[in-house]
Amino acid sequence: MMRAVSRYAFASVLLLVACRPAPGTGAPLAIEVAPEDVDADVYVDGNYVGQVGSLTAAGAEPLVLAPGVHRLEVRKPGRFPVQRTIRVEGGPNREPVVVNAELLEDPR
C-alpha cells in the first residue's frame, strides 16, 4: 500500500506512473508537492495521467515508468508548471525517481 509521508513543508507522494514496462523493469516515480498542490494535474510524455492526490488514493492501480527518457509535467491553474526530463534505467527493482514539484504562484 502507498502512503504519503510529510517531509519539511512538502508531502511526499509516491506515484507509480506507467508506460507499460516489461515485468521487473522500470522505476516508480515519487513526486513531492506542497499539501495545497495535491490537486495538480500530472502529465507523462504529454499524456494526462491524473491528479497527484487521486493517483495515490487507496485502491489506485500502481503504475511504473518504463526504461527510457520521459517528460514529466505538473500543472495547476494559478501556478507556474513544473517540467522535468527523467531518464529511467532498465533493470529489476529500481529505486524511485524523486521529483520535487514546487508549483510557484503565478502573480498574474
Per-residue model confidence as pLDDT tens digits over 72-92? 999 999 999 999 999 988 777
Range(s) of the domain holding residue 41: 5-100
- pLDDT classification of 30: cutoffs 50, 70, 90: confident
Q: Report if residue 106 sits inside a domain.
A: no
Work out the mean pLDDT of the chain and round it to a whole number: 78
Tally of CA atoms within 13 A in the half-sphere of 94 that contains its CB: 24
The verdict on residue 12 lying in a domain is yes
Asked whether residue 24 is assigned to any structural domain, the reply reads: yes
* Amino acid 56: pLDDT: 67
Cβ atoms within 10 Å, residue 43: 17
Residue 107 counted as domain residue: no
What are the residue ranges of helices labelled H in the chain?
A: 52-55
pLDDT at 66 over 80: yes
Confidence (pLDDT) at 7:
36
Residue 89 within a domain: yes
pTM of this structure: 0.75
Q: How far apart are CA 36 and CA 4, in angstroms?
A: 14
pLDDT for res 27: 84
Position 31 in a domain: yes
Question: How many distinct structural domains can be found in the chain?
Answer: 1
Quick one: average pLDDT of 38-55? 91
Residue 71 falls inside a structural domain: yes
> What pLDDT is attached to residue 15?
44
pLDDT of 12 reads 41
The verdict on residue 105 lying in a domain is no
